[in-house]
Each structure stands twice: as structure tokens, then as C-alpha cells.
A = this chain, B = another copy of it.
Amino acid sequence: MSTPLVTSLPDYTEPAQRLASDLGYNYQPIRAHRFPDGEYRVSVPTQPPSHIIICQSLDHPNDKLIELLLAIQTLRPAGVKRVSLVAPYLCYMRQDKAFHPGEAISQQIIGHFLADLVDDLFTVDAHLHRVDMLQQAVPLKNAINLSAAPALGEFLLQHDLHPLLLGPDSESQQWAQQIAEVGGFDWAVANKQRSSDVDVRITLPNIDFQNRVVVLVDDVISSGHTLAQATRELQKAGASKICCLVTHALLADGALDLLHQVGINDIWSSDSISHPSNVIHLADMLASELQTLFRS
């Protein structure tokens, strides 16, 4: 059997090359040219091996989903038998039910689209709220949801902060708890009430934040409003330093400005989505999980 090849779309070259290097495989890019009319011309590696690993996060997903369709349907007739998609950030996981009649359950539809296209799917900290297992969203035997908590916990341990970890809402409890367990950190969860996209109220738990280094932890930053509001409350409660540690830096326009304005001290993220706040590479963890699966 020939050695697998690692590839990616142009915006994800660095994390994919890092994964290839950790696995000891070669990297070759998928090329994609955007025409002025919004269509893409996609080119895949020629004479591919029978097993291709596509390392590609799926933030801002629609162009990428079509580019992946074009790439994979070009690789298959060129002899590729197994496509392993490593998508550290997986798209459309939040729309997991029809909140109003007629709404598409995008998690299921995009999950099936991906399951039809690839053979294995690895992701990290997928936003699974009403389903327990990634396989319920992406119906593949090898649909594997990894946790970045060990890598995030290790990062905090190395920085000797003695932090108190705070999840800003009940959904973030799992990340707070898991990261805390890595380093034996204190942890707690706040209560969030949301009245609109931008209007969020945070109630802190009844513990002493005075002179504590507080690290807000969550799976994803998107608008930044929740974290901004939590920062304001922590300032009132006397925290000495307030940082934020997330897996996915999916920051909307203006989110970073908002967080800097309210005076957050640091924002740290994994490289699941390329962003200036990236401080944690996921490649080691991904490589180790892939090797375990491919050897089995």
C-alpha cells in the first residue's frame, strides 16, 4: 500500500503541513482559483495515492464545501479509495433542530453531505448540544470528535497562572471541567440569559473572584458579546486579570475590537481556525489519533 498524502485548500496550508510533518507523510496542495463570477477552478494532486488525508477546517463553509466536492469527485476517478477529512472546526453543527416550522436541520443535511463524500471524519470540540455522538450528525463509522481540553490544559499549566476557569454559560461547563481536570485548576460556570444576538446578561456564581486570574473558557468565540459581558462582571467582582481560552477562534468582524475595548487581558486559541490569537497547535494530537485509527 502506498503512503497516504496530506492535502488542504489554500487557506489551511500551514496546519495541514504541520500534520503531514507529524505523520511523516508528504503534503501537496489542492489549488483553487476564484473567478470574478464566484465560481472556483479546483486542481488536485495528480497521480494521488489510494489514501488521501484532507486537513481543512470548515469555518465560512459554503465555498469550502463546494471546493471539497469538486476536489474529492476529481480524486475518486484518479484512483483514490479512502478520503480522511480532518476538519478541526466542523461547520453547521449548531442548527441541530428546527427551532421554527420549516427550518432546515443543517447539522443533519451537511453531516450527510460530508458522510457521502468522505470515508473518515475527524473534528475537534464539535458543537454537539442535542446529540451525544458525532455519528448522529455525520453518519460514518469513523466520525470522531476529539477534545482539545488536554492541549488547552497543558498550555495553562506551562504558564504558571494558577487560574480560576470560568465557563460563561451552562453549555460551556464541559470545556471548563475538562480543562480544569488537566491542571487541577479551580473552575466554575456562570449563568447566561440572552434576550437578543447582542443583548446578553451574565450572572456570576457566588465565589470570590477578588485578585484572581480568571480564564474564561469555551469551545468557540463568535460575536464576543458573551465573553465581553462576562469580562465586565468579573472586573466588577475584582478579578486581577481576565483572559480567554477557546478551541475555535471563529471571530466575527468587530468581535476582537469589542473584547479589547472591555479590557480583556489576553485571548488564546488553538489553530483549528487560523487567527492571530492562535497559541496551541493541534497537529500533535491529531497525528496521534490518526495513527491510532490507521493502525487499527
- Please give the count of copies of this chain that the complex contains: 2
Q: Is A257 on the interface with B (CB-CB < 8 A)?
A: no
Give chain A interface residues in 25-53, CB to chain B under 8 Å.
31, 36-46
Q: Is A208 on the interface with B (CB-CB < 8 A)?
A: no
From B42, B61, B104, contact of A44 by CB (8 A): B104
Q: Is A71 on the interface with B (CB-CB < 8 A)?
A: yes
B91 engages A103 (CB within 8 Å) = no
A61 engages B36 (CB within 8 Å) = no
Complex Cα distance A105/B69, Å? 11
A62 engages B66 (CB within 8 Å) = yes
B37 engages A60 (CB within 8 Å) = yes
Complex Cα distance A104/B44, Å? 8
Q: Is A140 on the interface with B (CB-CB < 8 A)?
A: no
Residue of B whose beta carbon sits closest to that of A43: B102
B66 engages A36 (CB within 8 Å) = no
What are the 3 A-B residue pairs with the smallest beta carbon separation, nearest first? Answer: A38-B60, A36-B252, A70-B104
19 A-B pairs with CB atoms under 8 Å apart are A36-B252, A37-B59, A37-B252, A38-B62, A39-B92, A39-B106, A40-B106, A41-B95, A41-B106, A42-B104, A43-B102, A43-B103, A45-B102, A62-B62, A62-B65, A62-B66, A73-B109, A74-B104, A78-B102
**Which A residues are within 8 Å of any B CB, using their own CB?**
31, 36-46, 59-63, 65-66, 69-71, 73-74, 78, 91-92, 94-95, 100-106, 109-110, 112-113, 222-223, 250, 252-253
